[in-house]
Structure 1
Amino acid sequence: MTAWHARRAALRWLAVCAATVAMPAWALRAAAEPQVQLSQEQSRAFQAWMLRIVNAQIERGPSPRWTHRDCAGLVRFAVNEALTVHDAKWLRANGIASDRRLPPELELDAKQAALRNRWIQTGGKVGHFVTALALVQHNSRFIAREISQALPGDLLFFDQGDEQHLMVWMGARIAYHTGTVTPDDNGLRTVDIKELTSWKDTRWQPVVNNPNFAGVFRLAFLS
């Protein structure tokens, strides 16, 4: 199968997920259900850490530890750092203050900790890198096309034809990276959900009647 045909097959899979809401749940999860999952308590702590890490990038600027700066890179960085041990050394390296607002530690076992930097790529290989498309296709599960179903840390996936884009649901706001870095602009953005749903460029509206919006996806290892 050529790369072009592989991509078209992947996009057809996403289209089915987005359009066929009545499809049995097992069919939507089959390609992305991991053998290792976090408990509900660990999942809540992970989501809180992921948002704290994304917020730190927005408030302080990109960490030098985040090397591949695009939309998928932001997700990979936040996920990997949320799964690590957040000791004093880590807090200093990431410019995060040690205070009472810090989420609880995840207390991962060895198999759960091994999820870090292990992404399922197109073709089934596992590695440190994964594209936006493979991130949702092989490492997440489809939730809904209605953003009212999103939880903090969920991913909004947009297919613009030749390009795919991820945004992170933060609650009332959405965070993302534009993929464009200039001397005066690090590419990081946040936008209010009400503003995005009325965006002039309708391709980016996270609404059911937007064919470019594939829907809300949740990382597959979360309960």
Structure 2
Amino acid sequence: MTSRRSCLRLLAAGAALAVMPQAWALRAAVDTPGPQLSQTQSRAFQAWMLRIVNAQIERGPSPRWTHRDCAGLVRFAVNEALAVHDAKWLRANGIASDRRLPPEVELDAAQAGLRNRWVQLDGSVGHFVTALALVQNNSRLVAREISQALPGDLLFYDQGDEQHLMVWMGARIAYHTGTVTPDDTGLRAVDIKQLMNWKDTRWQPAPNNPNFAGVYRLSFLS
């Protein structure tokens, strides 16, 4: 519990000060080195990540996606974007082979090892990671202004006892509510204007919102 509280205090401080989150994010990146994708690979990865998130929203969650919450959506989309997108993969994910498919990411062996490799708060590596550990140990801060986001970037919110992630899609923002019912998959997609004017101001991705920690980018992307 002490470690978690320390992490929350650190993240809250980062949301309040402009300089501190950058130093914190750089320290996390240094502490967790690993394979990097080139700019070409990164763009292809981001395109696949968006295609996979879109498929979950349009077709419904894949049976292969477990742990359905906001961090689970990111983990699933990242891992599948790093997969080999051959005919077998397309069939398993219900994605049609057409001209709209992004180019293949073309990973080497070390880069392919990024799949299911998440650094936990304690520094260990595993298949599972929370929203907090995902941004603290597996991402870097880009900015607190949404205008700096690229497709595939993560919007991180600290609501005190709970943390939440959203995915910047370019024109829309996708997220999972964390709850699932027989009639509701929990998946949502809203446009930026709608979210910036959200009645519950805790969810507005604005620099003056103390609950919005900022825009984060996966550490392995260029």
TM-score tier (shorter): over 0.9
Aligned to 1:174: 173
Length, aligned pairs only:
220
Query: Displacement, 1:16?
Result: 3.5
For the pair 1:32 / 2:36, whether they are aligned, the reply is no
Is the contact made by 1:18 and 1:144 (CA closer than 8 Å) also made in structure 2?
A: no
Q: Deviations over 1:14-60 (max 9, x none)?
A: 23433332359565322134321000000000000000000000000
Structure 1: 4+ residue segments shifted above 6 A:
none
Distance 1:28 1:187 in 2: 30
Report the counterpart of residue 135 of structure 2 in structure 1: 136
CA gap of 1:26–1:158, structure 2 versus 1, over 3 A, is: closer
User: Residue 209 of structure 1 corresponds to which residue in structure 2?
Assistant: 208
CA 1:221–1:145 in 2, change beyond 3 Å: closer, same or farther? same
Give the RMSD, CA atoms, in angstroms: 1.3
Mapped to 1, the partners of 2:5 and 2:21 lie a distance apart of 23
Contact 1:17 1:28 (C-alpha < 8 Å) held by counterparts: no
Q: Normalised by the size of structure 1, how large is the TM-score? A: 0.95
- Asked if 1:187 corresponds to 2:186, the answer is yes
For each residue in 1:67-93, what CA deviation from the matched residue of structure 2 results, as whole angstroms up to 9, or x when unmatched? 110000000000000000000000000
Of the structure 1 ranges 86-95 and 12-21, higher mean CA displacement relative to structure 2 is found in: 12-21
Are positions 1:68 and 2:43 aligned together?
A: no
Q: Secondary structure at the residue paired with 2:28?
A: coil
3-state DSSP class of the match of 1:30? helix
Identity %: 81
SS at match of 2:9: helix
- Asked whether the equivalents of residues 15 and 210 of structure 2 are also in contact (C-alpha less than 8 Å), the reply is no
5 Å-filtered alignment, 1:1-223, equals 3=1, 5-23=2-20, 25=22, 27-33=24-30, 34-223=33-222
8 Å CA contact 2:142, 2:214 repeated in 1? yes
Q: Hey, what's the Cα distance between the residues in 2 that align with 1:81 and 1:124?
A: 23
Q: Which consecutive unaligned segments of at least 5 residues does structure 2 have?
A: none
Measured in 1, the distance between the counterparts of 2:218 and 2:11 equals 15
Shift of the 53–140 alpha-carbon distance from structure 1 to 2, 3 Å rule, reads same
Shift of 1:148: 0.4
Q: Which runs of 5+ in 1 are unaligned?
A: none
Q: CA deviation at 1:195?
A: 0.4
Distance 1:38 1:173 in 2: 25
- Give the aligned residue type for 2:105: L
**Counterpart residue identity of residue 49, structure 1:** W
| Aligned mates of 1:47, 1:18 — CA distance in 2 | 26
- Give, as a single letter, the amino acid of the residue that structure 1 aligns with 2:53: V
Report SS of the residue matched to 1:208.
Answer: coil
SS at match of 1:29: helix
